[in-house]
Amino acid sequence: MRIFIKQNFFSAKECANLSAATLAGVSEGWVSTGIGSGGLGSTGRKTSRLYMKGKSYPAVVGQCMNKILTFMGLTDNPLILGGHGADGAVTSITYKGDDVYLHRDPRLSELSILRCNVVTQASESGGKLYVGGSHVDLNVGDLHCYLASDYPHNVTPVTGDTPRILWMFGAQVEKNAWESNQIMPEAS
């Protein structure tokens, strides 16, 4: 199981702009109820996953997506589309007391789903990522990539009054190409 981390991939300004986009999405209704510990319709975890039909993200999202795809060498890979936010990107916000349940992302084809995620706002405590049962230590702005369709992952309950905001980007890839390091960032 390969997990790639590039520390400080997004600047503080990029993280602030993406977090602001998520909060605007909550106000505008394109970030809404998601699946959390309370099941479908959770108000403690909201997402853009199901609510972007006919809508577009702010320009900063496309700029950040292009930065990741270029860095990871994924510009020719198919994006994660079809009920997955818009243009291959999804955001989520998790409030105090909620979590991300243990799951695997659904495949869209025979290819694996490579999520390239960035926490743009951390909770005061809690909100810790586990992939394949192992804790993944992250800071705000760190790019972290793993095969979300192949390995179970979850996030522990958020505590404190600051919600955890995550942006998920990525593409579809061949599992063996990812696991054997054939897919490598341009400058790592």
CATH number, residue 132: 2.60.120.620
C-alpha closest to that of 122 among 138, 99, 102, 143: 138
Please state, for a pLDDT cut of 70, what percent of the chain lies above it.
94
Question: Which residues lie across from 163 on neighbouring strands?
Answer: none
pLDDT digits (tens, 9 = 90+) for 126-169: 999 999 999 999 999 999 999 999 999 999 999 989 999 999 99
pLDDT tens, position by position, 67-79: 999 999 999 998 8
- Residue 88: its pLDDT value, please? 87
pLDDT value of position 122: 97
> CB under 8 Å to 102, separation ≥6 — which residues?
152, 153, 154
Asked, for residue 55, whether it belongs to a domain, the answer is no
Residue 1 belongs to some domain of the structure? yes
Q: State the average pLDDT over residues 74-97.
A: 87
- Where does the pLDDT of residue 80 fall: very low under 50, low under 70, confident under 90, or very high at 90 and above? confident
Of the candidates 3, 5, 2, the one whose C-alpha atom is nearest the C-alpha of residue 118 is: 5
Domain count, the chain: 1
Residue 169 domain flag: yes
Confidence of residue 34 (pLDDT cuts 50, 70, 90): confident
**Residue 67 within any structural domain of the chain:** no
Report pLDDT for 108. Answer: 84
- The model carries a pTM of 0.93
pLDDT at 6: 96
How is residue 7 annotated by DSSP? T
Q: How far is C-alpha 125 from the geometric centre of its chain's CA atoms?
A: 19
Residue 186 counted as domain residue: no
Closest CA to 6 of 89, 113, 116, 105: 116
Kindly state whether residue 123 falls inside one of the protein's structural domains: yes
Residue 81 CB contacts under 8 Å (≥ 6 apart), including other chains: 87, 88, 108
Residue 36 has pLDDT above 70, yes or no: no
Measured in residues, the chain has a length of 188
Structural domain harbouring 154: 1-28+78-174
Residue 18 falls within a domain, yes or no? yes
